[in-house]
Amino acid sequence: MNVPQNLRYNTSHEWVLLEGDTATVGITDHAQEELTDVVFVELPPVGKSVDVGDPTAVVESVKAASDIYAPVSGEVVEVNPAVEADPSLVNTDPYGKGWIFKLQLKDAGQLGDLMDAAGYQAMIG
């Protein structure tokens, strides 16, 4: 799968889609391939405040459990109940129906610290 051009990425393989001052967060196709079959997603509570790098959610696969880190600071304003009901969405549609949570941005300037698609593609080789 190609790396979507309209997203920003961090080194721990989360992606961010900015819509106004809301950041939708999920894990990349590369990350879900490394995890293999996702069997459980632990969503953060709505209203939780997070800073960049805070463990915010957990994705468990048949191989391992992995923290999902906040790529930007903000407050959790929405979570995706679909991935709780059907964790395989993280594998089958990581950039669409497999999103994990949405943050109300605290500082939009933090997006500049994230990689663009070309930078992320170069990092994963």
Note if the pTM is more than 0.75.
yes
What would the pLDDT profile of 18-66 be if each residue is shown by its tens digit? Answer: 999 999 999 999 999 999 999 999 999 999 999 999 999 999 999 899 9
18 phi/psi in degrees, rounded to 5: -95, 125
In this prediction, residue 1 has a pLDDT band, given cuts at 50, 70 and 90, of low
User: What are the tens digits of pLDDT across the range 58-99?
Assistant: 999 998 999 999 999 999 999 999 999 999 999 999 999 999
Are 99 and 90 in contact by the 8 Å Cβ rule? The answer is no
Contact 25, 43 (CB under 8 A): no
Confidence class of residue 106 from pLDDT cuts 50, 70 and 90? Answer: very high
The domain defined by 8-119 carries CATH number 3.90.79.10: no
